[in-house]
Each structure stands twice: as structure tokens, then as C-alpha cells.
Amino acid sequence: MATAPGTSTPSSVAAPVAPPEIAREVVDPKAYAEWDHLLGTFDWLREHMPVARIESEEPGVHPPFWLVTRYDDVMRVSKENATFLNNPRSVVLSTFDGIEFAKSFSGGSEHMVASLVTFDAPVHMKYRKLTQDWFMPKNLRGLEDEIRAIARSAVDRLLGGAEDGQTEVDFVKTVAAPYPLHVVMQILGVPEEDEQRMLTLTQQMFGGQDEDLNQSGMKDLPPEVITQIIAGAVKDFETYFAKLTAEKRARPTGDVASTIANATVDGEPLNDRDMMGYYIIVAAAGHDTTSASTAGAMLALAQDPEQWARVKADRSLLAGIVEEAIRWTSPVQHFMRTAAEDTEVGGQKIAKGDWLMINYVAANHDPAQFENPRKFDAARENNRHLAFGAGAHKCLGLHLARLEMRILFEELLDRIDTVELAGEARRSNSTFVGGLKTLPLRLTHR
């Protein structure tokens, strides 16, 4: 198998190479829109090749890597941050062309954006601490009334202002996308009139592989064009946040953007690349994943009217609805790691420099950890899912995501009597961050 100069080929000792059709599927954005079939593929891999070598049939498409699918193995790789690094290789599956483009865009790094996601210790914790208190439960409790007002307004918009009756609506476009966006932009300090721009840029970054989200309207774009769309979104983000930085330095307002703009690490202000990466990760990752989980919960409840009725009658189930939605949808579908030393994962030898994909979709549907994992079960016990990651890189905004979803569902359950599908729910074509892009619902409400 050919490899690009300077790349590592996974160790070949007793390497279980995935069949070509599976190797194609696990890197195909469209496969992630065919959810049930994809879950079946991961079931097969966990049983037969829990640590599988993924090679491209066409040399030079993407570097080879190890695909890790069992819950215990994904948990271990996520937690052992000294053995499995975020740097220097890309933390998201990339083609050879995409990696080279990122290097030219960034000045040598495989990461188009430098952020908490890409840093290793000790840099990672220094940057994480800058905003960590903002996203802790103690601080978020002070924001509950503001978030509830946003949720109530979102439900008003969903129901079209009608006091009672029946409404048909696309839940994603009406609530699941704009609601968490508005919350995180308020926390960040972005004016409301700029939120649509932030949504468009986020969809281009995370939905670049989907013609409905990348704003091109074109199907089957080649990878290099998708990479350019993402790069364009990053540039637009950087332009916007450079202006915001100047404003927050001149007139700090006590929000997250003011914290980032005026932060120092080791006594020095953040450099432009790190600062822009910080803004982007809060602005983009802070809402797209919550949007996916919220829409996933509504899909599950629309498919199971009895479960909707149970949680409507017993709000103690609401925390379970939120947690199960996050597991069941697994919005961040994978991350890549690089072995810092020779090691083993799941009994498979891994060589120093090897690239690994830890697949959260596969791990969160592992029957060894979750009984009947494809079932959405609000009463699921010991739901120790990996949708937020684990270890030092566990999601900074996990408490905010849970709070947003709880408050929104309290408002929805207060005003909606029944919910059912009014058409086909469709998932985005994306290997990285994914979820529903349309969810037509029929609601009866009061």
C-alpha cells in the first residue's frame, strides 16, 4: 500500500484488514446518513475485528488507520492522553489532499483550527482553565432564567403562536438548530443579529460533506472542494472574531468572548491562531452537537408515543431522556488519535506513530455496555456513554448541553400533548459531527 511521505503505516503484525466494502463505508459521509445499516456494520466489526485496519482501495486517498469500535477500548484510548495524542496529526479523519491543504492554510499544522480539541498536555489544561468556570454547574445556575426565556420563545415559534390545535413543522429548522445557537451566542457575547451568520458558518464547517448544509447545493463534491468550503468558513469565522476581539478588549462586557480576548497563558496574551481557534470551538461545537441530540430525542419520542406520554406524566424521567438522547445520537461521531509509543489496543499491536479512529457511534451502541443499544430507553440505568468523550478532553460544555436540553423539554412537555412524524427524518452526510438535518413533526398542543 502506498503512503504519502512522512506518514505512518499501521503496524502489519497480524493486522486484521477490514474488507474493502467496510473500509469504504466507515469513511463515507453518506454511510452515516444510513444509520441502521452503519450500526450493523459496527456490530460486525466489534464481533470480528474490534480493532480493524482501514486502508483505502485507491492509494493516496487517506492515510491508513486503526478503527476502534468496542466501548472499553474507546474509553481507554480516550482516557490515556499521554499514550494517545491529539497532536501532531489531525484529530479528524482527513484525506491526504486535505492534510496538505491544512498544512498550507495553517503554516505547517495538520489542524486547520488550533483549539482545545487539538492541544495535548500541558498546553491543553492551561487553555481549558481560561473558560472552564463559565461552563460549571454553579455558574450555569445563574443563567437558568435567561435560558428558559430563550426556550419559551423557541416553543412559541414552534407552535406558531397558536394557543391550541395541530401544527406541522420541521423541528430541526424551527427549534433544534436555532435554540442552542442562541443560548451559546448569548454566553459568548455575539449579538443576536449575527447568529444566522454563525449558523451558516457552523453548517459549512461540520456539514461540509452534505450538499444541503455546505451552501453549495451540489451533490458529490470532491474532497478537495469540501476542504476549501471548510477553509472558507474558518477564514470567515476568523475575520468576524478578529473584529469582536478588538471590541471586547476596548470594552470588556463580562462574557466568554471578553474572557478569551483578554486572556493570558504563561503571562502572554493568546496568539491570533490560538485565540481564533478558541472562539471557533466555543461558537461552533457549543451548539451543533446539542442541536443534534435535541432533534434525536424528538425523533425517538415521535416514534414512541407511549414514552412521550410517560415522561409527560413523570418528569423524573426527563434526565434519562436527555442522557439517552446524547448516547443514542452520538453527535461527535469520531476523533482521531496518534500513538505516542508502541502499545496494544484490544489485543492488537499498535506502533508508535500509528493513527487511530475512536468511533463513538460504535462504542455507544456496544451491547457489552448497553443492553439493547438501538432502543431509545429513557429509563436506561448506568448510562455511562462516551458521547462527551472521556479523560482530559471530556467536553467542556457538557453541563450546558444537559441544562439546555432539560429546560427546553420542560417547556415542550408543558405545551405539547402528542407528537408524531409528519414525513421522513433525514440525517446529514458527515463522518465527523452528524445528526438530523430535517425532522418533520405533527404536534397537538395547547
Reported as a single tens digit per residue, the pLDDT across 421-436 is 999 999 999 999 999 9
Note the pLDDT of residue 43. 98
What residue has cell string 448510562?
383
Contact 396, 135 (CB under 8 A): yes
| Average confidence (pLDDT) over 93-113 | 91
| Average confidence (pLDDT) over 407-428 | 96
When pLDDT is cut at 50, 70 and 90, the band that residue 162 belongs to is low
Contact 279, 237 (CB under 8 A): yes
When pLDDT is cut at 50, 70 and 90, the band that residue 57 belongs to is confident
Note the pLDDT of residue 229. 80
What pTM did the predictor assign?
0.91
The string of pLDDT tens digits covering residues 345-403 is 999 999 999 999 999 999 999 999 999 999 999 999 999 999 999 999 999 999 999 99
Note the pLDDT of residue 160. 84
When pLDDT is cut at 50, 70 and 90, the band that residue 283 belongs to is confident
When pLDDT is cut at 50, 70 and 90, the band that residue 8 belongs to is very low
Note the pLDDT of residue 3. 36
Note the pLDDT of residue 208. 60
| Average confidence (pLDDT) over 176-181 | 94
Question: What's the alpha-carbon Rg for the chain, to the nearest Å?
Answer: 21
Give the span between the Cα atoms of 65 and 52, in whole angstroms.
8
Task: Specify the length of the chain in residues.
Answer: 446
Residue 255 pLDDT greater than 50, yes or no: yes
When pLDDT is cut at 50, 70 and 90, the band that residue 1 belongs to is very low
The sign of the torsion formed by the CA atoms of 278, 279, 284, 289 equals positive
Q: Which residues of 254-273 are buried (b: 16+ CB within 10 A; e: fewer)?
A: ebbbbbbbebeeeeeebeeb
Residue 39 pLDDT greater than 60, yes or no: yes
**Which has more pLDDT, 284 or 327?**
327
Note the pLDDT of residue 245. 94
Note the pLDDT of residue 202. 79
Give the span between the Cα atoms of 269 and 94, in whole angstroms.
31
Give the span between the Cα atoms of 205 and 203, in whole angstroms.
5
Note the pLDDT of residue 4. 35
The string of pLDDT tens digits covering residues 207-219 is 667 667 656 555 6
In degrees, to the nearest 5, what angle opens at C-alpha 391 toward C-alphas 390 and 396? 75
The 3-state DSSP class for residue 420 equals strand
Average pLDDT, the chain: 91
Q: Which of 9-18, 144-153, 379-388 has the lowest mean pLDDT?
A: 9-18
Note the pLDDT of residue 141. 94
Provide the percentage of residues in the chain whose pLDDT is more than 90: 78
Note the pLDDT of residue 9. 45
| Average confidence (pLDDT) over 181-187 | 93
Note the pLDDT of residue 163. 64
What residue has cell string 503554516?
107
Helix (H) or strand (E) holding 22: helix 20-25
Residue 81 pLDDT greater than 50, yes or no: yes
**Which has more pLDDT, 7 or 152?**
152
| Average confidence (pLDDT) over 248-273 | 95
When pLDDT is cut at 50, 70 and 90, the band that residue 20 belongs to is very high
CA-closest candidate to residue 350, choices 51, 105, 116, 29: 51
